[in-house]
Amino acid sequence: MALDGLGTWLFARLTAMSPADPYRPPSPAERDAGTAGLRALLRGERAPELPGLGFGVSAIADGRPYTLVAGESGTERAWGTVVLDTSGPPRRVIAVPHPIADRLTAWLGYQLFRAMPGSALLLAGTHRRAGGGAADVAHRTDSMFHAFAGVLAEHAPAELQPHGYAAATLPGYDAVVAAGAATVCGAHVALRDALVARGFRVRPEWTGLLDGATNVQSAAAAARGSAFLHLELAPGPRVDPKARAVVVTAVAETWRDV
């Protein structure tokens, strides 16, 4: 696997994550400071609030210039990372809430970020079971991940979340395409059709097991009236680099203009 600057950083960050890590949700005041700092960055301004919360803000390039907003690692303030494409406000958010527990979804999110210029990449800061389960950011509204997703959604009309499930959980299928608590739109249909056309076994129903109905970011998208993709993949499409590349291409083609 060839790694560029951002990929090398991401690999090191993922390697350090553990379900035994400490974690605490940020306080309301800390979340307010974090959102104020991210909003400032999106306006092209300095964000003095972020360093006080443990976030480092730096420039990184791997073919395109990015702004890396990296939270702490291995501490109770492992509140996540945002990577901003500096070409302008994000047109979509690629969010990875379970980067280790859902194996290789972080790489899927990273590959989508690279394949879809103008995106923001949002990565949870630790394993979902860290802090006794308090770090499961897809199901808690008191996380910096959720707060940052809300700020990015002020610019981006769509959020894409890759997830993974064990083969025994849903045998007979490779993928589940769903909208969580939000509304199914044309891009969901197009993605499902594109994956089926490429030989993937996609569950035909929009709701049911693994549909993301309890995902709090999807509920926020539903309240805003914006688009949300909850993409669940079996181990095969995540572990096989060629299959993962096909998924990336299908998502990029069908969600590029949402």
Structure-block tokens of residue 165:
């499930």
DSSP for 93-119 reads EEEES-TTTSTTHHHHHHHHHHHSTTE
Residue percentage of the chain with pLDDT more than 90: 91
Map residue 84 onto helix, strand or coil.
Answer: strand
Q: What is the pLDDT of residues 195-241, one digit of tens each?
A: 999 999 999 999 999 999 999 999 999 999 999 999 999 999 999 99
Map out the domains of the chain as residue ranges: 1-156, 158-258
Residue 1 confidence class, pLDDT cut points 50, 70, 90: very low
Distance CA 112, CA 52 (A): 30
Instruction: Name which CATH class applies to 158-258.
Output: alpha beta
Task: Output the pTM of the full model.
Answer: 0.96
